[in-house]
Structure 1
Amino acid sequence: MTRVEQELDEFAKLDAEGIDPATGDPFADVPALLDTFLVRNVPDENEVLVAWYGGRPRTALPGEDSYVTRHGAFEQLVDSMLADGGTRQVTAPGYGDAMVTVQRVRAGQESGALVVVSYLERDRAELRNTFRTYALVGLAALAVITAVAFWQSGRLLAPLRTLRDTAEGINESDLSLRIPEQGNDDITALTHTINGMLGRLEEAFVGQRQFLDDAGHELKTPLTILQGHLELMDPTDPAEVAETRALLLDEVDRMSRLVGDLILLAKHDRPDFLSPAPVSVERLTHTLLAKVRALPGRAWELDGAGDAIATLDEQRITQAVLQLADNALKHTAEGERIRLGSDVTDGVVRLWVADSGPGIPDDLKGHVLERFGRGAVTADDEGFGLGLSIVRAIAEAHGGHVTVDDTDPGAPRPGATVTLHLPQELPWPGS
């Protein structure tokens, strides 16, 4: 109907404002007006434009339309509508449903009409074909989209399936499995995070297993000693009971120290292991020197003191430095010099203890920092090889590390300098 209204509006405008091309004046007769309109318009595919005057159809576009040109019912219908115009729906033989619209026109004593015939069945057939085409295209597009979505979802979810398979393959004896990382999307970021978590879990389990193995190994000897002496002791001999009691108390004391050291190592990665606070490095260094000078028989010297404020756990650092001082005491002779110092450079706090003893061979400098790792020891050394590992644990809890170097490289007695390297500010908030 929109197209028909457009045709009628154009015809009304031509009637009101149009110029007859033959005369150059406004249209003076109906045939000229109707014929000019038909010449200037092209009907739609399912539409017929008819110039009606003199009581019958004179010109039709297209002209081969049989309903308009050869069917008497059409003329009767238009005759009945000329007086009032308007639109009626009829059944056109051979065409089905049709809409016939009549717009009357008058010029002088002549009258006529523009008749527009719209075949509805053809429009409906075209509409059905259009919907059918849209439906087929939509189904084909849906199939393609579904296939692409299925493929894409499978590709995107593949890392999650791999994650599931990897998680199923992890057990208490094998934590080494990792998920392949490919791409640069959120799934890859998740994979990287999961791999990091697996790495930390593996490290924790390995550390726990090593801790249990080391503890079991080191406790086995004192327990064997306790059991053996208790089994062989004569309870009726007061002297033997007293001797055995003293010996067993000494072993119990050694076991207590060993358990305490192991507990400290086990706790070093806990959030509450440190209680950091702003500390004057210079004051801390002088305090440490005052404490180690209470250890007899050595010449304790200050080897510099850093002038800065650092965020540290003063008690833990004191524990570490006193442990280094105790180690230096064991590996130096009466009257030998031991130096303690500190400095702060580029945001790194360095605290060291340098002795003048026999030193540590290069191949053992990393080993002595491990649990139960020991170099050459004196006959009276009752340690367990946990001292430097405790120092390293305290340094790592601060986000730092420990190095072992020669005090005087190339000398017959090169000595050993053990240094704590600590960030001036903790690399994470809190402890």
Structure 2
Amino acid sequence: MPAERFPRRTSWFPALSVRVRILAAILLVAAAGMIAAGTTAYFVQRDSTLDSIDTALLGAVDDARFIAKDSKATTLNAVLEAVVQRIRPGTNEATLAIIDGAAALAPGGDVDFRLEENRAFVARVVGETATGNVVLGNVRTDGRTVRYVAAPVDVTGDAAVGVFVAAFDLDAALRPVTDALLTSLRVTLAALVVLGLVGWLVSGRLLRPIRALREAAARITASDVSERIPVVGRDDVSELTRTVNDMLDRLDGALTGQRRLLDDVGHELKTPITIVRGHLELMDQNDPADVVATRALAIDELDRMNGLVRDISALAEVQRPLGVARAPVDIAVLTELVRTKAAALSGHRWVTTETANIVVPVDAGKLTQALLQLAANAVSHGGVDGTIDIASATGRDAVGNPRLRLWVRDDGPGISANAQDHIFERFRRGASGRGPAGSGLGLAIVCAIAEAHGGTATVASAPGHGATFTIDLPIPPDVVAPEQGRAEQGRAEQGRAEPKEQSL
């Protein structure tokens, strides 16, 4: 079924780099926060100033009432004159007395602004106080906004109607608050500029490894993954760089192994193909005996190539990340069953000198495959009719961590020190052996199985003293390792091992 194609999602900012986007997001959040803080402070201070103005205006009305009573005047004009004289307007303030709808009395001297010249304002105040209530209001006069209070005044026995007015210049009173807001905005702008510069430098430094990663990824090809990214610092980005370098190491190792495998396979297949081709070219088609001999040789070489391909598949399966399926396994039972199976390989004397009495999570099938491969190797390269020991034991490494060891020991001619250095490499064959030659992958498969379990495969040998192949595996911390496995000296059989009906 063909894959459906979906339109690619387009970015809102296709031309902007990650560095610019990060910096823009930081600046937007910082600007929003600073402006919100400044605006909130402005409105809080503005409301506080307006409240204080209203309190002062109402206080002036209370003072006017007190002065009116204290003056003991009997006429409205005398009362308002006393009030206007004793309540002197301060900065950004003004007062006015209105009698019978006209501006009558105003403070003398120099005041910030005057109200008596604005007839429209006088008429407005007279109308608002006609009901006899004190009125608070705002008015625009002479280019300024004025907050005022108007209180009606009357004197018993005097038919005149008066109004006392006190006012504040709101623009002047709120100017410090407005100036503070403007200053806050200027500081915010300067802070954003500094933050942008610092953020640009810091983001560039932090994103430098990512740019290096992108450039390195662009330079890496399928044939060359040797380049690594320099690690700088100890932050999350440097950890990402280390992770990518580790990935490149694994990729490089996998590609190197793949190239080596292809080279080795090509080399190993070249020989049988050349042999078959040469004999087919030289075969006498009219000679039945020659045809039969050539056919037998070709089949033998094809069988050998089939075994090579089978071993390569087994090696590839073990080396896959999910090639090992762990499950709890009784190692003592596993050791006995491997000995039982191996006894059918030859007439050697098969013994088990030790067994590890422990249950460990391993892949029983793969571990059996490895031990049987070592057993077959001992049959082929060990003594003709000697003793082969298949055993297991627990112990500890140099730092005290618990380990599980499984080994196959023969008493054959041994292995030279030079051969031991390369014995677990692919397509390495022993110098001599009995029976058909192998593919050279058997010990490589053993090593791969051990490594897939987190362990190692080693060999200890000296010419004339046999060889011991050991699979050394770690024991998980949650598994309690018992004392070293019980010795089972004397249990040996010639050519066979007594089977036991036990399961893994």
Q: TM-score, normalised by structure 1?
A: 0.78
Name which of 202, 210, 232 aligns with 2:260: 210
Could you tell me how far 1:264 is from its partner in structure 2?
A: 1.2
Give 3-state SS (helix, strand or coil) of 2:269's partner.
helix
Letter in 2 for 1:198: L
Greater mean deviation of Cα atoms: 83-92 or 391-400: 83-92
Aligned-partner Cα distance in 2 for 1:66–1:282: 107
* Cα shift at 1:66: 6.7
Which residue is 1:398 aligned to? 453
Q: Deviations over 1:370-426 (max 9, x none)?
A: 1123454348662233221111112222232212123xx7xx623221111234569
Q: Give the distance between the partners of 2:340 and 2:147, measured in 1 at CA.
A: 115
The answer as to whether partners of 1:28 and 1:108 remain within 8 angstroms in 2 is no
Paired residue for 1:414?
A: 465
Tell me the alpha carbon deviations over residues 228-250 of structure 1, each in whole angstroms, 9 at most, x when there is no partner: 11111111112222222222222
Distance in 2 between residues matched to 1:343 and 1:2, nearest whole Å: 90
- Distance apart, 1:171 and its partner CA: 0.5
Aligned counterparts of 2:171 and 2:326: Cα–Cα separation in 1: 89
* Structure 1 CA distance for aligned equivalents of residues 378 and 408 of structure 2: 8
Could you list the per-position Cα deviations for residues 80-137 of structure 1 after superposition, in whole angstroms to 9, with x for gaps in the alignment?
A: 9577575574644xx6665554445679989987643434565687787666555544
Counterpart pick for 2:425 among 370, 374, 378: 370
Q: CA deviation at 1:193?
A: 3.2
The within-5 A match list for 1:218-257 is 218-257=268-307
Partner amino acid, structure 2, of 1:419: T
Does the alignment pair 1:163 with 2:213? yes
Do the aligned residues in 2 keep the contact of 1:301 with 1:340 (CA within 8 Å)? yes
Alignment of 1:155-194 (within 5 A): 155-194=205-244
Counterpart of 1:65? 111
Instruction: Tell me how far apart the structure 1 counterparts of residues 420 and 157 of structure 2 sit (CA, whole Å).
Output: 126
TM-superposed CA distance for 1:291, in Å, is 2.1
Tell me what 2:441 maps to: 386
Q: Which is bigger in relative contact order (C-alpha 8 A, separation at least 6)? A: 2
C-alpha separation between the residues in 2 aligned to 1:151 and 1:170?
A: 28
Q: CA RMSD in A?
A: 3.9
Offset of 1:263 from its aligned partner? 1.6
Q: Cα gap change, 1:389/1:113 in structure 2, threshold over 3 Å: closer, same or farther?
A: same
- Contact 1:368/1:385, CA 8 A, preserved across alignment: no
- Residues 196 and 36 of structure 1: is their aligned pair in 2 closer, same or farther, counting only changes over 3 Å? farther
Q: Structure 1 counterpart of 2:422, which letter?
A: H
CA separation in 2, counterparts of 1:134 and 1:234? 105
Q: Quote the residue 1:23 is aligned against.
A: none
Distance (Å, rounded) in 1 between the aligned partners of 2:124 and 2:293: 141
Match of 1:319 among 369, 373, 376: 369
Q: Which amino acid in structure 1 is aligned with residue 220 of structure 2? A: I
| Structure 1 contact 57–75 (Cα < 8 Å) conserved | no
User: Is the CA contact (8 Å cut-off) linking 1:97 and 1:119 kept in structure 2?
Assistant: yes
> In the aligned structure 2, how far is the partner of 1:297 from the partner of 1:393?
29
What CA distance in whole angstroms lies between the structure 2 residues aligned with 1:124 and 1:425? Answer: 76
Task: Indicate conservation of the 8 Å contact 1:78/1:102, yes or no.
Answer: no
Residue type at the aligned position of 1:5: D
**Mapped contact 1:52–1:58 kept (Cα < 8 A):** no
- The answer (yes or no) to whether the contact 2:94–2:113 under 8 Å persists in 1 is no
Q: Relative to structure 1, is the Cα distance of residues 318 and 51 closer, same or farther in structure 2, using a 3 angstrom cutoff?
A: same
| Partner of residue 334, structure 2 | 284
1:259 to 288, 305, 309: 309
TM-score (norm. length: structure 2): 0.68
CA distance in 2, matches of 1:88, 1:246: 119
Partner of 1:352: 407
Q: CA deviation at 1:208?
A: 1.4
Q: Aligned residues, how many?
A: 404
> What are the Cα deviations for residues 125-179 of structure 1, in whole angstroms up to 9, with x where unaligned?
7787666555544443443344344334433433332222111111122112223
Distance between the aligned counterparts of 2:259 and 2:372, measured in 1?
29
CA distance in 2: counterparts of 1:80 and 1:171, whole angstroms:
88
Give distance in 2, aligned partners of 1:134 and 1:425.
63
What is aligned with 1:270? 320
1:78-89 alignment to 2 at 5 Å? 86=135, 89=139
Contact 1:233 1:244 in 2 (8 A): yes
Q: SS in structure 2 opposite 1:349?
A: strand
* SS of residue paired to 2:465: coil
Residue 48 (structure 1) aligns with: 93
CA–CA separation in structure 1 for the residues paired with 2:477 and 2:175: 80
Other structure's SS at 1:418 match: strand
Check the 8 A contact 2:311/2:439 in 1, yes or no: no
SS in 2 for 1:341: strand
Q: Distance in 1 between matches of 2:361 and 2:416?
A: 34
Deviation digits for residues 350-384 of structure 1, max 9, x if unmatched? 21011222333344434111112345434866223
Secondary structure of the structure 2 residue equivalent to 1:369: coil
Give the CA deviation at 1:207.
Answer: 1.6
* Residue 8 (structure 1) aligns with: 57
Q: Supply the distance in 2 between the matched residues of 1:76 and 1:28 (Cα, whole angstroms).
A: 31
SS in 2 for 1:251: helix
1:227: how far off?
0.8
Pair 369,317 (structure 1): closer, same or farther in 2 beyond 3 Å: same
Q: Give how far 1:213 is off.
A: 0.7
Greater alpha carbon shift after TM alignment, 107-116 vs 208-217: 107-116
Letter in 2 for 1:211: L
Deviation at 1:337, TM superposition (A): 2.3
* Unaligned 5+ runs, structure 2: 1-49, 73-78, 396-400, 479-504
Structure 1 residue 194, shift from structure 2 partner: 2.7
